[in-house]
Chains A and B, each alone.
Chain A
Amino acid sequence: MSPMFRTTSAFLLLAGCASAGSSFEARRLAVISDDSRVIVPVSFSRDGRRAAYVEQRDDGCRMVHGSHVGKPYGILC
């Protein structure tokens, strides 16, 4: 498939997300909403403070990262 006809890809940028002096402890990071489906493995920051994932809804796929919800794409990988 030509790259010209590929839909936009996106990735989860959690590399380097570390907080100075952060404690390394167990914590619940997110709850996936009932009306969405997670379509790729969840990514975690190295300090365990953040998680990001791609959720699929009827209108497309979005990256979810904490309280941030990205814009919808046709396909994310």
Chain B
Amino acid sequence: MNGRQSIAVEEKEYSPYGPDWTITWPLIFSAEGSVVASRLSSEKTSRGCIGVDGRRGEEFDRVGPPVLSRDGSHVAYRAHEGDRCFVVIDGRRGPPCDFMSDPAISADGKVVAYGARRQGKWSLVVGGDERPIDHQPTFVFLSADGRSVGFGVEDGSRVQVVVNGRIGESFTLVGRPVFSPDGKIAAYAADQDKTQYIVIGGTKVEVAGRESDPVFSPDGTQVGYGARIGREIWWKVLAVP
């Protein structure tokens, strides 16, 4: 208020990072909602850093959006310094690479995964493991336990999702996939031109008014998603095939 930028949570406002730092959308919440993180940029130096609950991390030339473990106690993000980039996990830099995707993090924060290009070759880094892959991953996602990993690949204007090594149908647009609680299948929102789908495992279901990415029910038997139909806002549920 009064010309200042601030974050409002419910009806409380706060400006935790001072006037020199601008909070960059989106705000990232821990699953429990108790921790909030975001990118920050300095208008004086044009450098960036990650802020978590009012604490600023190390400054870099640029940073990507952060990911938080379920309780928000672990944070990972992509950082750039000069012509190199690297993952930063809980303040510690990973090995440098030429290019990389934004990281994903497991629920307990013990596994971080990302795509990295070194010496012209892409690989998928999952915890301490590094596997060569044929395509540049545009995004990477992990199951809650960190054992299953998937990523997206783009070919021109088409996007495909690869889950545990199996490549899916190509779409014109794909949302953020999520693994089932047991990590065996993934679900994601996808568009084929103007037709909307929710993809669950190998099955696509046509939907209307989709307004959110899907989530699995706690028992993994259903998938829910938000929809806006006219002036009505709905929560829709699909059975897992």
Binding site for B on A (CB under 8 A): 2-11, 13-17, 24-34, 38, 41-44, 46, 48-49, 51, 53, 63, 70-71, 73, 77
User: Is there contact, CB below 8 Å, between B6 and A24?
Assistant: no
- Check if B166 is an interface residue, CB within 8 A of chain A: no
User: Is there contact, CB below 8 Å, between B218 and A11?
Assistant: no
Q: Closest chain B residue to A49 by CB distance?
A: B235
Binding site for A on B (CB under 8 A): 1, 3-11, 13, 19-23, 25, 27, 29-34, 43, 211-212, 215, 217-218, 222, 224-226, 228, 231-237
User: Is there contact, CB below 8 Å, between A3 and B8?
Assistant: no
Q: Closest chain B residue to A75 by CB distance?
A: B5
Once A and B bind, how many residue pairs between them come within 8 Å at the CB atom? 120
Q: Residues of B contacting A70 with CB < 8 Å?
A: 8, 10-11
User: Is there contact, CB below 8 Å, between A29 and B23?
Assistant: no
Which of B7, B212, B225 contacts A9, CB < 8 Å?
Answer: B7
Q: Closest chain A residue to B229 by CB distance?
A: A28
User: Is there contact, CB below 8 Å, between A51 and B32?
Assistant: no
User: Is there contact, CB below 8 Å, between A44 and B212?
Assistant: yes
Q: How far is B3's CA from A7's CA once the two chains are assembled, in angstroms? A: 5
A16 touching B226 in the complex, CB below 8 Å, given contacts A10-B8, A44-B235? no
User: Is there contact, CB below 8 Å, between B233 and A28?
Assistant: yes
User: Is there contact, CB below 8 Å, between A4 and B3?
Assistant: yes
A77 to chain B, nearest CB (A): 6
